[in-house]
A and B are shown apart, each in its own frame.
Chain A
Amino acid sequence: MTFRTFLRHLREGTKNVFRNGWMSIASITSIIVSLLILGVFILLVLNVNAFADDADNQVQISAFLNSKVPQAEVDKIRNEIAMMPEVSKVDFVSRNQGLKDFKSKLGDNGKDLLDGYTEETNPIPDTLKVEVIEPTTVAFVASKIEALNKKYTDAPIFKVNYGQGTIEKLFKITRTIRNVGFIFVVGLGIMAMFLISNTIRVTILARRREIGIMKLVGATNFFIRWPFFVEGGLIGLIGSLVTSAVLIFGYRQMVESVSQDISLPIHLIPMSDIGLPIVSLMIGLGLLIGIWGSTVSIRKFLKV
C-alpha cells in the first residue's frame, strides 16, 4: 500500500463517519454507554480491592496493657508474642505515643476534640501492636496472647482487640464484591462489543451495494476494508475520549467530596494513581470494540 493510498483510506474513513451522521452518533453513544458502565464498575472494583487490601493490612491485634506493668515484664511479654510462629511483627506503643498517633489520625478536624488531654489525663493505655503473617489467623493469635495472662500473677494484659466479628464480615463482603464485580465487568465488555458490531452492521448493510461495486471494479478486500477500519477505530476513539472525560471528571469530584468528609472511614484511590490506566484502558477498549465491530460486520459482504 502506498502512503497516498493510506491517506485516502484515512480520509474516506473520516468522511464516512460524517456521511453516516446519525448511525455514527448511535454507534458512538452505544460505545459511551457501555464503556461508562464498564468504567464505573472498574473504578468501584479497584477501590473495593484497595479497601480490602488496606483492611487486610490493618488487621492488627492490639494488646492493651494495664497501667502499672513494669518495663521488664512488658519486654518479656513482647518477646513471647514475637516468638509465636504466626506473628510477623510486634511494636510497643507507649501511651504518649498512642495519644500523638490518635491526634494525627484525626487530623485538623479532630484537634479540638483531644486538646483537653495532657500526658497525665491521657486515657490511652500502653499497647503492644501485633501484626500477623496471615490475616485469617488473627482470632487464634489473639486468644494465644490472652492466654499469656495466666503466666503472670498480676494479669498484665487487660484487653486484646482485633475487631472481632467485623473483620470476618469485611472479608466476606469484599470477596463477594470482587467476584461479582469481575463477572459484571466481563459481561458488560462482551455486551458492548455486540451492541457496537450490530450498529456498525446496520451502516454497512446500507452500503453493501457500494461494496459490491467496489469489488466489480477490482478493489481488493483490504482496499475496501481499510476505510471501515478507520471508521470503526475513529468511532471507538471518540466514544472512549468522551467516556474518559466523564469518568475523570466524575471521579475527581467524588475523591474530593469523600476526602473532605472525615465521617467516612474510607479514602478513594487518588486520581494520579488511577487516571492514566483508566484512560488508556478506555481508549484501548474503545478502539478494539470499534475496529472489531466493523471488521466482523464487513466480513460477510466481502464475499461477492
Chain B
Amino acid sequence: MIEMQDVWKTYPNGAHALQGVSVKIDRNEFVYLVGPSGAGKSTFMKLIYREEVPTKGQISVNGFNIGKLKPRKIPYVRRNIGVVFQDFRLLPRLTAYENVAFALEVIEAPKKIIKKRVNEVLDLVGLKGKAGREPSQLSGGEQQRVAIARAIVNNPSVIIADEPTGNLDPETSWGIMQLLDEINFRGTTIVMATHNKDIVNSMRKRVIAIEEGSIVRDQLRGEYGYDF
C-alpha cells in the first residue's frame, strides 16, 4: 500500500531530511510517526502525498510510483489520500458543509451524491447540526472534525495526519483520536505524526520513530519512548 525503498531527501538548502528510509505500511494499519522536531516526519508524509519528490529511492502509494509521477497525474493520486493538518487548513469563507463538499466538487461528483455523502461524513464526525457555520464560528476541535470529514469524504485509502491534535486541549484531542480510530476501524490506513505521549502510550498502535532522517525504531503496539 505504502512502500519506501531506500528513500533519500535532500532539500535545495542542503538539509538531509531523510537518509535511506525503507518501510512498508499495509492496508488498514494505524501508524504513529514519532521523533524530535526536524527529524524528518513531515518530509516523510509530504513524500507520500507528493508535495515533495525523493532525491533518491522509490516510493509507491496505492501502486503509483510517486517519484516518477507526471505533474498532470498528481491530483488523481491525492484524491485517494486524505490529509489533516495541525492548523486545519479549511477554506475560510466557506461553511463546514461547503468545505467538505469542495473535495467532491473537485472530482465532479453529481450534486445528489455530494449532498448525501457530505451529510453522512458530517454526521460521522458529529457536526451534523453545525454544517452551516464558517470555520471562524467553530471551536478548534470542531474545525479539525471538519478537516477530517473533508479528508475522508472521498473514501481515500490513506489518511495522512500531521499532528492533528497539536493545537487542541487534551479532552478535545481524545475526541479526535476516537474519530480517527473509528475511521481506521472502517478500513482506512492512517499515518499520523504526533508529539502526544499520552495518546501514543494509551492507544497502542504501530510506532515508527524517526531521528535525523532515519528510522531508529519500528514497533507494533509500541510506546512513545521520549520525554517530550
Q: Mark A214-229, 1 if CB is under 8 A from B, else 0.
A: 1111111101000000
Complexed CA–CA distance, A81 and B78 (Å): 86
> Beyond A2-B108, A4-B111, A304-B51, is A213–B75 a contact (Cβ under 8 Å)?
no
B106 touching A216, Cβ below 8 Å: no
Within 8 A of A (CB), among B50-106: 51, 75-79, 83, 89-93, 102-103, 105-106
B154 touching A218, Cβ below 8 Å: yes
With CB as the reference atom, state the residue of chain A lying closest to B49.
A216
With CB as the reference atom, state the residue of chain B lying closest to A304.
B51
B111 touching A215, Cβ below 8 Å: no
Q: Does B150 contact A (CB under 8 A)?
A: yes
Chain A nearest Cβ from B122, distance in angstroms: 16
A218 touching B105, Cβ below 8 Å: no
Q: Does B203 contact A (CB under 8 A)?
A: no
Q: Does A100 contact B (CB under 8 A)?
A: no
B75 touching A219, Cβ below 8 Å: yes
Chain B nearest Cβ from A255, distance in angstroms: 48
- Kindly identify which residue among B76, B92, B108, B150 contacts A217, using a CB–CB cutoff of 8 Å: B150
A8 touching B83, Cβ below 8 Å: no
- Kindly identify which residue among B78, B93, B111 contacts A216, using a CB–CB cutoff of 8 Å: B78
Chain A residue contacts of B79, Cβ below 8 A: 217-218
Q: Does A210 contact B (CB under 8 A)?
A: yes
Number of A-B contacts (CB under 8 A): 47
Chain A residue contacts of B107, Cβ below 8 A: 218
Chain B nearest Cβ from A89, distance in angstroms: 67
Q: Mark A154-183, 1 if CB is under 8 A from B, else 0.
A: 000000000000000000000000000000
B89 touching A218, Cβ below 8 Å: no
A216 touching B108, Cβ below 8 Å: no
Q: Interface residue tally of chain A, by bracket?
A: 20 to 34
Q: Does A144 contact B (CB under 8 A)?
A: no
Q: Does A5 contact B (CB under 8 A)?
A: yes
> Beyond A4-B111, A19-B93, A210-B91, is A217–B51 a contact (Cβ under 8 Å)?
no
B108 touching A5, Cβ below 8 Å: yes
Chain B residue contacts of A218, Cβ below 8 A: 75-79, 103, 106-107, 154
> Beyond A4-B111, A210-B91, is A219–B106 a contact (Cβ under 8 Å)?
yes
Chain B residue contacts of A212, Cβ below 8 A: 89
Complexed CA–CA distance, A215 and B90 (Å): 13
Chain B residue contacts of A2, Cβ below 8 A: 108
Complexed CA–CA distance, A5 and B107 (Å): 10
B105 touching A8, Cβ below 8 Å: yes
With CB as the reference atom, state the residue of chain B lying closest to A217.
B103
B78 touching A217, Cβ below 8 Å: yes
With CB as the reference atom, state the residue of chain A lying closest to B81.
A218
Within 8 A of B (CB), among A1-33: 1-2, 4-5, 8, 19
Chain A residue contacts of B77, Cβ below 8 A: 218
Chain B residue contacts of A216, Cβ below 8 A: 49, 78, 83, 89
B51 touching A214, Cβ below 8 Å: no
Complexed CA–CA distance, A209 and B91 (Å): 9
Q: Mark A190-218, 1 if CB is under 8 A from B, else 0.
A: 00000000000000000001101111111
Chain B residue contacts of A209, Cβ below 8 A: 89
With CB as the reference atom, state the residue of chain A lying closest to B156.
A218
Chain B residue contacts of A19, Cβ below 8 A: 93
Complexed CA–CA distance, A2 and B113 (Å): 15
Q: Mark B131-170, 1 if CB is under 8 A from A, else 0.
A: 0000000000000000000100010000000000000000
Chain A residue contacts of B106, Cβ below 8 A: 214, 217-220, 223
With CB as the reference atom, state the residue of chain A lying closest to B104.
A217
Residues of B within 8 A of A (CB): 49, 51, 75-79, 83, 89-93, 102-103, 105-108, 111, 150, 154
A-B contact pairs, 29 of them (CB 8 A): A1-B108, A4-B111, A8-B105, A19-B93, A210-B91, A210-B92, A212-B89, A214-B102, A214-B106, A215-B75, A216-B49, A216-B78, A216-B83, A217-B79, A217-B102, A217-B103, A217-B106, A217-B150, A218-B75, A218-B76, A218-B77, A218-B78, A218-B103, A218-B106, A219-B75, A220-B106, A223-B75, A223-B106, A304-B51
Give the 6 A-B residue pairs with the shortest CB-CB distance, closest first. A218-B79, A218-B78, A217-B103, A219-B106, A218-B75, A220-B75
